[in-house]
Structure 1
Protein backbone atom coordinates (compact mmCIF):
# COMPACT_ATOMS: atom_id res chain seq x y z
CA UNK A 1 0.00 0.00 0.00
CA UNK A 2 1.46 3.37 -1.03
CA UNK A 3 2.15 5.89 1.72
CA UNK A 4 1.31 9.57 1.28
CA UNK A 5 2.94 12.57 2.95
CA UNK A 6 1.09 15.79 3.69
CA UNK A 7 0.50 18.53 6.25
CA UNK A 8 -2.74 18.34 8.17
CA UNK A 9 -4.91 20.11 10.72
CA UNK A 10 -6.75 17.74 13.04
CA UNK A 11 -10.42 18.77 12.91
CA UNK A 12 -12.15 15.86 14.65
CA UNK A 13 -11.17 13.20 17.17
CA UNK A 14 -12.90 10.09 18.48
CA UNK A 15 -11.40 7.65 20.95
CA UNK A 16 -11.26 4.15 19.49
CA UNK A 17 -10.53 1.44 22.02
CA UNK A 18 -8.27 2.16 24.97
CA UNK A 19 -5.22 2.84 22.83
CA UNK A 20 -6.27 4.29 19.47
CA UNK A 21 -8.08 7.23 17.88
CA UNK A 22 -10.15 7.81 14.78
CA UNK A 23 -9.19 11.23 13.43
CA UNK A 24 -10.31 13.57 10.69
CA UNK A 25 -7.64 15.79 9.16
CA UNK A 26 -7.97 18.69 6.77
CA UNK A 27 -4.78 18.23 4.79
CA UNK A 28 -3.20 20.70 2.41
CA UNK A 29 -2.78 18.51 -0.66
CA UNK A 30 -5.33 15.73 -0.11
CA UNK A 31 -8.25 17.57 1.48
CA UNK A 32 -10.35 16.04 4.24
CA UNK A 33 -9.37 12.51 5.20
CA UNK A 34 -10.35 10.10 7.94
CA UNK A 35 -7.67 7.90 9.48
CA UNK A 36 -7.15 5.55 12.38
CA UNK A 37 -4.14 6.27 14.58
CA UNK A 38 -3.36 2.92 16.16
CA UNK A 39 -1.79 3.20 19.58
CA UNK A 40 -1.88 7.02 19.67
CA UNK A 41 -3.34 7.05 23.18
CA UNK A 42 -0.50 5.01 24.62
CA UNK A 43 2.00 7.12 26.62
CA UNK A 44 4.97 5.71 24.69
CA UNK A 45 3.38 5.59 21.24
CA UNK A 46 5.17 6.72 18.09
CA UNK A 47 2.72 9.65 17.92
CA UNK A 48 4.11 11.21 21.13
CA UNK A 49 0.69 11.04 22.77
CA UNK A 50 -2.97 11.74 22.03
CA UNK A 51 -3.57 13.98 19.01
CA UNK A 52 -5.76 16.99 19.86
CA UNK A 53 -8.14 19.06 17.74
CA UNK A 54 -6.42 21.89 15.83
CA UNK A 55 -2.98 20.35 16.16
CA UNK A 56 -1.07 20.89 12.91
CA UNK A 57 1.63 18.52 11.76
CA UNK A 58 3.45 16.57 9.08
CA UNK A 59 1.67 13.31 8.48
CA UNK A 60 2.30 10.03 6.71
CA UNK A 61 -0.74 7.89 5.97
CA UNK A 62 -2.06 5.15 3.73
CA UNK A 63 -5.42 5.43 2.01
CA UNK A 64 -7.03 3.27 -0.65
CA UNK A 65 -9.64 4.72 -2.98
CA UNK A 66 -12.26 2.18 -1.94
CA UNK A 67 -11.69 2.67 1.79
CA UNK A 68 -13.44 5.30 3.89
CA UNK A 69 -10.80 5.17 6.62
CA UNK A 70 -7.05 5.31 6.06
CA UNK A 71 -4.24 4.54 8.49
CA UNK A 72 -2.02 7.19 10.04
CA UNK A 73 1.50 5.81 10.32
CA UNK A 74 3.43 8.94 11.34
CA UNK A 75 2.51 12.33 12.75
CA UNK A 76 5.04 14.99 13.66
CA UNK A 77 3.27 17.95 15.27
CA UNK A 78 4.53 21.37 14.19
CA UNK A 79 1.85 23.41 15.98
CA UNK A 80 0.23 22.40 19.26
CA UNK A 81 -1.55 25.66 20.11
CA UNK A 82 -0.88 25.33 23.83
CA UNK A 83 -1.48 29.04 24.48
CA UNK A 84 -4.82 28.86 22.66
CA UNK A 85 -6.11 26.53 25.36
CA UNK A 86 -5.43 29.17 28.01
CA UNK A 87 -7.78 31.75 26.41
CA UNK A 88 -11.51 31.01 26.31
CA UNK A 89 -12.32 33.05 23.20
CA UNK A 90 -9.30 31.70 21.32
CA UNK A 91 -10.20 28.13 22.27
CA UNK A 92 -13.77 28.52 21.02
CA UNK A 93 -12.49 30.11 17.81
CA UNK A 94 -10.17 27.14 17.29
CA UNK A 95 -13.06 24.71 17.74
CA UNK A 96 -15.03 26.87 15.30
CA UNK A 97 -12.25 26.49 12.71
CA UNK A 98 -12.35 22.71 13.08
CA UNK A 99 -16.14 22.61 12.82
CA UNK A 100 -16.25 24.85 9.74
CA UNK A 101 -13.51 22.95 7.91
CA UNK A 102 -15.39 19.73 8.56
CA UNK A 103 -18.75 21.11 7.39
CA UNK A 104 -17.62 23.15 4.37
CA UNK A 105 -15.25 20.63 2.77
CA UNK A 106 -15.65 17.22 1.18
CA UNK A 107 -13.56 14.07 1.43
CA UNK A 108 -10.39 14.16 -0.68
CA UNK A 109 -11.21 17.61 -2.10
CA UNK A 110 -8.11 19.74 -1.44
CA UNK A 111 -8.22 23.50 -0.86
CA UNK A 112 -4.56 24.49 -0.30
CA UNK A 113 -5.33 28.21 0.07
CA UNK A 114 -7.99 27.48 2.70
CA UNK A 115 -5.55 25.24 4.56
CA UNK A 116 -3.03 28.09 4.63
CA UNK A 117 -5.67 30.55 5.88
CA UNK A 118 -6.78 28.18 8.63
CA UNK A 119 -3.19 27.52 9.75
CA UNK A 120 -2.48 31.27 9.76
CA UNK A 121 -5.59 31.97 11.84
CA UNK A 122 -4.64 29.34 14.41
CA UNK A 123 -1.22 30.98 14.65
CA UNK A 124 -2.92 34.36 15.22
CA UNK A 125 -5.00 32.81 18.00
CA UNK A 126 -1.81 31.56 19.60
CA UNK A 127 0.00 34.90 19.39
CA UNK A 128 -2.68 37.49 20.16
CA UNK A 129 -4.59 38.51 23.30
CA UNK A 130 -8.39 38.06 23.28
CA UNK A 131 -9.09 41.71 22.39
CA UNK A 132 -7.10 41.35 19.13
CA UNK A 133 -8.66 38.10 17.89
CA UNK A 134 -11.93 39.18 16.28
CA UNK A 135 -10.54 40.78 13.08
CA UNK A 136 -8.62 37.59 12.31
CA UNK A 137 -11.72 35.45 12.92
CA UNK A 138 -13.67 37.58 10.43
CA UNK A 139 -10.90 37.32 7.83
CA UNK A 140 -10.86 33.54 8.23
CA UNK A 141 -14.63 33.38 7.76
CA UNK A 142 -14.40 35.40 4.55
CA UNK A 143 -11.63 33.09 3.29
CA UNK A 144 -13.68 30.01 4.19
CA UNK A 145 -16.74 31.27 2.32
CA UNK A 146 -14.72 32.39 -0.70
CA UNK A 147 -12.64 29.23 -1.04
CA UNK A 148 -15.71 26.98 -0.78
CA UNK A 149 -17.83 29.03 -3.18
CA UNK A 150 -20.31 30.17 -0.54
CA UNK A 151 -19.45 33.85 -0.23
CA UNK A 152 -22.19 36.50 -0.20
CA UNK A 153 -22.17 39.18 -2.89
CA UNK A 154 -20.79 42.31 -1.25
CA UNK A 155 -19.29 44.37 -4.07
CA UNK A 156 -22.71 45.36 -5.41
CA UNK A 157 -26.40 45.00 -4.65
CA UNK A 158 -27.05 41.26 -4.79
CA UNK A 159 -30.34 41.96 -6.57
CA UNK A 160 -29.95 44.81 -9.08
CA UNK A 161 -26.11 44.62 -9.27
CA UNK A 162 -25.72 48.34 -8.56
CA UNK A 163 -22.10 48.80 -7.52
CA UNK A 164 -21.47 49.33 -3.82
CA UNK A 165 -20.36 52.83 -2.86
CA UNK A 166 -20.45 55.22 0.07
CA UNK A 167 -23.28 57.14 -1.61
CA UNK A 168 -25.93 54.53 -0.86
CA UNK A 169 -28.49 56.15 1.43
CA UNK A 170 -29.05 52.94 3.40
CA UNK A 171 -27.40 49.53 3.56
CA UNK A 172 -29.08 46.17 4.04
CA UNK A 173 -27.91 42.56 4.21
CA UNK A 174 -30.06 39.61 3.17
CA UNK A 175 -29.21 35.93 3.58
CA UNK A 176 -31.55 34.96 0.77
CA UNK A 177 -30.18 37.53 -1.70
CA UNK A 178 -27.46 36.58 -0.64
CA UNK A 179 -25.41 39.65 0.25
CA UNK A 180 -25.68 43.42 0.39
CA UNK A 181 -28.93 44.95 -0.82
CA UNK A 182 -29.59 48.60 -1.72
CA UNK A 183 -32.55 50.61 -0.46
CA UNK A 184 -34.43 50.30 -3.75
CA UNK A 185 -34.32 46.49 -3.63
CA UNK A 186 -34.69 45.79 0.09
CA UNK A 187 -38.55 45.56 0.05
CA UNK A 188 -38.23 42.33 -1.99
CA UNK A 189 -36.33 40.55 0.81
CA UNK A 190 -38.27 39.83 3.99
CA UNK A 191 -35.14 38.62 5.78
CA UNK A 192 -33.13 41.79 5.11
CA UNK A 193 -31.46 43.58 8.00
CA UNK A 194 -30.42 47.21 8.02
CA UNK A 195 -26.72 47.63 8.79
CA UNK A 196 -24.45 50.58 9.44
CA UNK A 197 -22.27 52.12 6.71
CA UNK A 198 -19.15 50.95 8.57
CA UNK A 199 -20.44 47.38 8.75
CA UNK A 200 -21.28 47.46 5.04
CA UNK A 201 -17.82 48.83 4.22
CA UNK A 202 -16.17 45.91 6.06
CA UNK A 203 -18.36 43.39 4.25
CA UNK A 204 -17.38 45.06 0.98
CA UNK A 205 -13.65 45.22 1.81
CA UNK A 206 -12.82 42.67 4.53
CA UNK A 207 -9.31 44.08 5.09
CA UNK A 208 -10.97 47.09 6.73
CA UNK A 209 -11.75 44.97 9.80
CA UNK A 210 -8.10 45.30 10.83
CA UNK A 211 -8.76 48.96 11.68
CA UNK A 212 -12.45 48.78 12.59
CA UNK A 213 -13.89 49.68 15.98
CA UNK A 214 -15.01 46.88 18.34
CA UNK A 215 -18.71 47.70 17.85
CA UNK A 216 -18.34 47.40 14.07
CA UNK A 217 -16.44 44.13 14.40
CA UNK A 218 -19.21 42.75 16.59
CA UNK A 219 -21.83 43.71 14.01
CA UNK A 220 -19.86 42.13 11.16
CA UNK A 221 -19.29 38.90 13.09
CA UNK A 222 -22.97 38.61 13.96
CA UNK A 223 -23.90 39.04 10.28
CA UNK A 224 -21.38 36.38 9.23
CA UNK A 225 -22.51 33.89 11.87
CA UNK A 226 -26.13 34.35 10.79
CA UNK A 227 -25.10 33.93 7.17
CA UNK A 228 -23.08 30.78 7.88
CA UNK A 229 -26.04 29.42 9.86
CA UNK A 230 -28.20 29.94 6.78
CA UNK A 231 -25.65 28.20 4.52
CA UNK A 232 -25.22 25.09 6.69
CA UNK A 233 -28.88 25.16 7.83
CA UNK A 234 -28.05 25.07 11.52
CA UNK A 235 -26.10 27.23 13.98
CA UNK A 236 -22.42 26.37 14.41
CA UNK A 237 -22.00 24.67 17.78
CA UNK A 238 -19.44 27.16 19.04
CA UNK A 239 -21.17 30.28 17.67
CA UNK A 240 -23.32 31.11 20.75
CA UNK A 241 -20.28 31.10 23.05
CA UNK A 242 -18.20 33.18 20.61
CA UNK A 243 -20.95 35.80 20.26
CA UNK A 244 -21.48 35.90 24.03
CA UNK A 245 -17.77 36.39 24.72
CA UNK A 246 -17.69 39.17 22.13
CA UNK A 247 -20.72 40.80 23.74
CA UNK A 248 -19.10 40.62 27.17
CA UNK A 249 -15.96 42.32 25.88
CA UNK A 250 -18.02 45.11 24.32
CA UNK A 251 -19.94 45.79 27.54
CA UNK A 252 -17.07 45.40 30.00
Structure 2
Protein backbone atom coordinates (compact mmCIF):
# COMPACT_ATOMS: atom_id res chain seq x y z
CA UNK A 1 0.00 0.00 0.00
CA UNK A 2 1.10 3.57 -0.64
CA UNK A 3 -0.22 6.97 0.34
CA UNK A 4 -0.92 9.26 -2.61
CA UNK A 5 -2.03 12.84 -3.14
CA UNK A 6 -4.05 14.02 -6.13
CA UNK A 7 -6.32 16.66 -7.58
CA UNK A 8 -9.69 15.04 -8.20
CA UNK A 9 -13.11 15.67 -9.68
CA UNK A 10 -15.98 13.82 -7.98
CA UNK A 11 -17.90 11.93 -10.67
CA UNK A 12 -19.97 9.45 -8.63
CA UNK A 13 -20.88 8.74 -5.03
CA UNK A 14 -22.65 5.93 -3.17
CA UNK A 15 -23.52 5.61 0.49
CA UNK A 16 -21.75 2.59 1.96
CA UNK A 17 -23.04 2.61 5.52
CA UNK A 18 -24.55 5.01 8.01
CA UNK A 19 -21.18 6.76 8.33
CA UNK A 20 -19.14 5.88 5.23
CA UNK A 21 -19.29 6.59 1.51
CA UNK A 22 -17.76 5.27 -1.71
CA UNK A 23 -16.61 7.94 -4.14
CA UNK A 24 -15.53 7.60 -7.76
CA UNK A 25 -12.95 10.29 -8.45
CA UNK A 26 -11.32 11.30 -11.69
CA UNK A 27 -7.84 12.44 -10.73
CA UNK A 28 -5.34 14.33 -12.82
CA UNK A 29 -2.44 12.22 -11.59
CA UNK A 30 -3.88 8.69 -11.55
CA UNK A 31 -7.03 8.68 -13.65
CA UNK A 32 -10.12 7.05 -12.17
CA UNK A 33 -9.90 6.15 -8.48
CA UNK A 34 -12.63 4.43 -6.47
CA UNK A 35 -12.19 4.93 -2.77
CA UNK A 36 -13.96 4.30 0.50
CA UNK A 37 -14.23 7.27 2.85
CA UNK A 38 -14.76 5.88 6.33
CA UNK A 39 -16.75 8.35 8.38
CA UNK A 40 -17.31 10.46 5.28
CA UNK A 41 -21.00 10.95 6.07
CA UNK A 42 -20.38 12.35 9.53
CA UNK A 43 -20.85 16.06 10.06
CA UNK A 44 -17.33 16.37 11.40
CA UNK A 45 -14.76 14.47 9.38
CA UNK A 46 -11.57 14.92 7.38
CA UNK A 47 -13.56 15.40 4.19
CA UNK A 48 -15.22 18.82 4.62
CA UNK A 49 -18.14 18.75 2.16
CA UNK A 50 -16.09 17.41 -0.71
CA UNK A 51 -18.45 14.65 -1.84
CA UNK A 52 -20.83 16.69 -3.96
CA UNK A 53 -20.78 15.60 -7.58
CA UNK A 54 -18.66 17.80 -9.86
CA UNK A 55 -16.59 19.23 -7.03
CA UNK A 56 -12.83 19.55 -7.48
CA UNK A 57 -10.95 18.33 -4.40
CA UNK A 58 -7.44 17.90 -3.11
CA UNK A 59 -7.38 14.33 -1.83
CA UNK A 60 -5.12 11.97 0.08
CA UNK A 61 -5.76 8.25 -0.30
CA UNK A 62 -4.14 4.91 0.43
CA UNK A 63 -3.76 2.88 -2.75
CA UNK A 64 -4.23 -0.86 -2.28
CA UNK A 65 -2.10 -2.38 -5.02
CA UNK A 66 -3.68 -5.82 -4.65
CA UNK A 67 -7.03 -4.48 -5.84
CA UNK A 68 -10.32 -3.48 -4.27
CA UNK A 69 -11.37 -0.07 -3.05
CA UNK A 70 -8.70 2.38 -2.06
CA UNK A 71 -9.04 4.22 1.25
CA UNK A 72 -9.70 7.94 1.15
CA UNK A 73 -8.18 9.65 4.18
CA UNK A 74 -8.59 13.35 3.39
CA UNK A 75 -10.47 15.56 0.93
CA UNK A 76 -10.55 19.32 0.84
CA UNK A 77 -12.63 21.39 -1.57
CA UNK A 78 -10.55 23.04 -4.27
CA UNK A 79 -13.21 24.42 -6.62
CA UNK A 80 -16.95 24.47 -7.04
CA UNK A 81 -19.08 25.45 -10.00
CA UNK A 82 -22.02 27.38 -8.51
CA UNK A 83 -23.69 27.99 -11.87
CA UNK A 84 -24.45 24.27 -12.07
CA UNK A 85 -26.85 24.73 -9.13
CA UNK A 86 -28.86 27.42 -10.91
CA UNK A 87 -28.79 26.28 -14.55
CA UNK A 88 -30.40 22.90 -15.17
CA UNK A 89 -29.04 22.49 -18.70
CA UNK A 90 -25.52 23.20 -17.45
CA UNK A 91 -26.03 20.65 -14.67
CA UNK A 92 -27.12 17.98 -17.16
CA UNK A 93 -24.05 18.74 -19.28
CA UNK A 94 -21.87 18.36 -16.19
CA UNK A 95 -23.51 15.06 -15.28
CA UNK A 96 -22.89 13.87 -18.84
CA UNK A 97 -19.18 14.62 -18.48
CA UNK A 98 -19.17 12.76 -15.16
CA UNK A 99 -20.85 9.76 -16.80
CA UNK A 100 -18.21 9.55 -19.53
CA UNK A 101 -15.39 9.82 -17.00
CA UNK A 102 -16.93 7.28 -14.64
CA UNK A 103 -18.23 4.68 -17.10
CA UNK A 104 -15.98 5.18 -20.10
CA UNK A 105 -12.52 4.91 -18.55
CA UNK A 106 -10.38 2.34 -16.74
CA UNK A 107 -9.11 2.56 -13.15
CA UNK A 108 -5.65 4.09 -12.77
CA UNK A 109 -5.28 5.03 -16.42
CA UNK A 110 -4.24 8.71 -16.18
CA UNK A 111 -5.04 11.26 -18.86
CA UNK A 112 -4.19 14.75 -17.57
CA UNK A 113 -5.56 16.33 -20.75
CA UNK A 114 -8.94 14.72 -20.09
CA UNK A 115 -9.02 16.05 -16.53
CA UNK A 116 -8.12 19.53 -17.78
CA UNK A 117 -10.78 19.38 -20.50
CA UNK A 118 -13.47 18.35 -18.01
CA UNK A 119 -12.67 21.16 -15.58
CA UNK A 120 -12.41 23.69 -18.42
CA UNK A 121 -15.84 22.66 -19.72
CA UNK A 122 -17.43 22.90 -16.26
CA UNK A 123 -16.02 26.40 -15.88
CA UNK A 124 -17.11 27.44 -19.36
CA UNK A 125 -20.70 26.30 -18.81
CA UNK A 126 -21.18 29.30 -16.55
CA UNK A 127 -19.94 31.93 -18.98
CA UNK A 128 -22.56 34.36 -20.29
CA UNK A 129 -23.44 33.54 -23.88
CA UNK A 130 -21.30 30.39 -23.94
CA UNK A 131 -21.91 27.78 -26.62
CA UNK A 132 -22.67 24.77 -24.45
CA UNK A 133 -23.21 22.43 -27.41
CA UNK A 134 -19.78 23.38 -28.72
CA UNK A 135 -18.16 22.93 -25.32
CA UNK A 136 -19.72 19.49 -24.83
CA UNK A 137 -18.69 18.49 -28.35
CA UNK A 138 -15.12 19.68 -27.73
CA UNK A 139 -14.97 17.58 -24.55
CA UNK A 140 -16.30 14.51 -26.37
CA UNK A 141 -13.53 14.84 -28.95
CA UNK A 142 -10.89 15.00 -26.20
CA UNK A 143 -12.48 11.94 -24.54
CA UNK A 144 -12.42 10.06 -27.86
CA UNK A 145 -8.83 11.10 -28.58
CA UNK A 146 -7.50 10.18 -25.15
CA UNK A 147 -9.14 6.75 -25.35
CA UNK A 148 -7.60 6.15 -28.76
CA UNK A 149 -10.73 6.72 -30.87
CA UNK A 150 -10.09 10.17 -32.31
CA UNK A 151 -12.24 10.47 -35.45
CA UNK A 152 -10.33 10.35 -38.74
CA UNK A 153 -11.41 13.45 -40.63
CA UNK A 154 -8.76 13.81 -43.33
CA UNK A 155 -8.59 10.29 -44.76
CA UNK A 156 -11.08 7.54 -45.51
CA UNK A 157 -11.25 4.91 -42.78
CA UNK A 158 -11.80 2.26 -45.44
CA UNK A 159 -9.21 2.82 -48.18
CA UNK A 160 -7.09 5.58 -46.68
CA UNK A 161 -7.78 8.10 -49.45
CA UNK A 162 -6.65 11.50 -48.19
CA UNK A 163 -8.54 14.76 -48.38
CA UNK A 164 -7.32 18.29 -47.82
CA UNK A 165 -9.04 20.07 -44.97
CA UNK A 166 -11.37 21.81 -45.32
CA UNK A 167 -12.41 19.46 -48.06
CA UNK A 168 -12.63 20.38 -51.72
CA UNK A 169 -15.94 21.59 -53.09
CA UNK A 170 -18.09 18.86 -54.54
CA UNK A 171 -16.57 15.98 -52.55
CA UNK A 172 -19.25 13.90 -50.85
CA UNK A 173 -18.20 11.72 -47.94
CA UNK A 174 -20.00 9.91 -45.17
CA UNK A 175 -19.30 9.44 -41.48
CA UNK A 176 -19.24 6.02 -39.79
CA UNK A 177 -19.24 5.97 -35.97
CA UNK A 178 -18.13 2.34 -35.80
CA UNK A 179 -15.37 2.85 -38.37
CA UNK A 180 -14.27 5.96 -36.49
CA UNK A 181 -14.36 8.64 -39.14
CA UNK A 182 -15.14 9.60 -42.70
CA UNK A 183 -15.71 7.16 -45.53
CA UNK A 184 -15.25 8.03 -49.20
CA UNK A 185 -18.01 7.48 -51.79
CA UNK A 186 -16.48 4.13 -52.78
CA UNK A 187 -16.21 2.78 -49.23
CA UNK A 188 -19.42 4.29 -47.94
CA UNK A 189 -21.66 1.38 -49.02
CA UNK A 190 -19.53 -1.08 -47.03
CA UNK A 191 -19.97 0.87 -43.78
CA UNK A 192 -23.42 -0.13 -42.57
CA UNK A 193 -23.83 2.82 -40.20
CA UNK A 194 -22.37 5.48 -42.52
CA UNK A 195 -24.47 8.57 -43.08
CA UNK A 196 -23.88 11.56 -45.36
CA UNK A 197 -21.66 14.25 -43.85
CA UNK A 198 -22.35 17.84 -44.85
CA UNK A 199 -19.55 20.26 -45.63
CA UNK A 200 -20.56 22.46 -42.68
CA UNK A 201 -20.47 19.56 -40.20
CA UNK A 202 -17.16 18.27 -41.57
CA UNK A 203 -15.59 21.70 -41.18
CA UNK A 204 -17.06 22.14 -37.68
CA UNK A 205 -15.70 18.78 -36.53
CA UNK A 206 -12.26 19.75 -37.79
CA UNK A 207 -12.40 23.10 -35.99
CA UNK A 208 -13.41 21.41 -32.73
CA UNK A 209 -10.67 18.79 -33.10
CA UNK A 210 -8.14 21.60 -33.37
CA UNK A 211 -9.30 23.20 -30.11
CA UNK A 212 -12.42 25.14 -31.10
CA UNK A 213 -15.26 25.55 -28.61
CA UNK A 214 -18.18 26.74 -30.74
CA UNK A 215 -20.63 25.25 -33.20
CA UNK A 216 -22.40 27.19 -35.90
CA UNK A 217 -26.16 27.05 -36.08
CA UNK A 218 -26.21 25.12 -39.37
CA UNK A 219 -24.15 22.04 -38.40
CA UNK A 220 -25.12 21.97 -34.70
CA UNK A 221 -27.76 19.25 -34.86
CA UNK A 222 -25.74 17.10 -37.25
CA UNK A 223 -22.51 17.33 -35.23
CA UNK A 224 -24.30 16.54 -31.98
CA UNK A 225 -25.92 13.49 -33.59
CA UNK A 226 -22.64 12.22 -35.05
CA UNK A 227 -20.64 12.68 -31.86
CA UNK A 228 -23.39 11.09 -29.78
CA UNK A 229 -23.23 8.05 -32.06
CA UNK A 230 -19.42 7.98 -31.90
CA UNK A 231 -19.42 8.12 -28.09
CA UNK A 232 -22.12 5.45 -27.91
CA UNK A 233 -20.10 3.16 -30.20
CA UNK A 234 -17.07 3.40 -27.90
CA UNK A 235 -19.07 3.14 -24.69
CA UNK A 236 -21.08 0.19 -25.98
CA UNK A 237 -24.38 1.87 -25.15
CA UNK A 238 -26.08 5.21 -25.42
CA UNK A 239 -25.05 7.44 -22.48
CA UNK A 240 -27.94 7.97 -20.08
CA UNK A 241 -27.48 11.74 -19.95
CA UNK A 242 -26.95 12.30 -23.67
CA UNK A 243 -30.62 12.92 -24.42
CA UNK A 244 -30.85 15.54 -21.66
CA UNK A 245 -27.76 17.32 -22.99
CA UNK A 246 -29.00 17.49 -26.56
CA UNK A 247 -32.50 18.46 -25.47
CA UNK A 248 -31.00 21.58 -23.89
Q: Decide: shared fold, TM above 0.5.
A: yes
Higher share of residues assigned helix: 1
Q: Distance in 1 between matches of 2:234 and 2:170?
A: 27
> What does residue 137 of structure 2 align with?
138
Alignment gaps of 5+ in structure 1: 246-252
SS in 2 for 1:176: coil
8 A contact 1:41–1:49 mirrored in 2: no
* CA deviation profile, 1:107-139 (whole Å, cap 9, x unmatched): 11111111111111111123345x621111111
- Structure with the larger RCO, 1 or 2 (CA within 8 Å, 6+ apart): 2
Query: What aligned pairs does 1:117-156 form with structure 2 within 5 A after superposition?
Result: 117-129=117-129, 132-156=131-155
The 10-residue stretch of structure 1 (204-213 or 76-85) with the greater mean CA deviation from structure 2: 204-213
- Please give the root-mean-square deviation of Cα atoms over the aligned residues, in Å: 1.9
The TM-score normalised by the length of structure 1 is 0.89
Evaluate the alpha carbon distance shift between residue 209 and residue 117 of structure 1 in structure 2; reply closer, same or farther with a 3 A threshold. Answer: closer
Tell me, yes or no, if structure 1 residue 93 matches structure 2 residue 93. Answer: yes
Question: Which aligned pairs between 1:7-86 and structure 2 lie closer than 5 A?
Answer: 7-49=7-49, 51-86=51-86
Larger displacement relative to structure 2 (14-23 or 180-189):
180-189
Between the aligned partners of 1:215 and 1:91, the Cα distance in structure 2 is 25
Structure 1 distance, partners of 2:12, 2:104, is 14
- Kindly state the Cα deviation for residue 50 of structure 1 after the two structures are TM-superposed: 5.8
Partner of 1:223: 226
Q: d(CA) in 1 for partners of 2:151 and 2:108?
A: 25
Contact 1:156–1:180 (CA<8 Å) still a contact in 2? yes
How far apart are 1:208 and its partner, in Å?
7.9
Between the aligned partners of 1:2 and 1:190, the Cα distance in structure 2 is: 49
Q: If the length of structure 2 is used for normalisation, what is the TM-score?
A: 0.91
Deviation at 1:8, TM superposition (A): 0.7
Please give the alpha-carbon distance, in whole angstroms, between the structure 2 residues aligned to 1:209 and 1:29: 25
Matched, 1:214 2:217: yes
Secondary structure at the residue paired with 1:172?
Answer: strand
Structure 2: which 5+ runs fail to align? none
Match runs of 1:150-189 below 5 Å: 150-164=149-163, 165-189=167-191
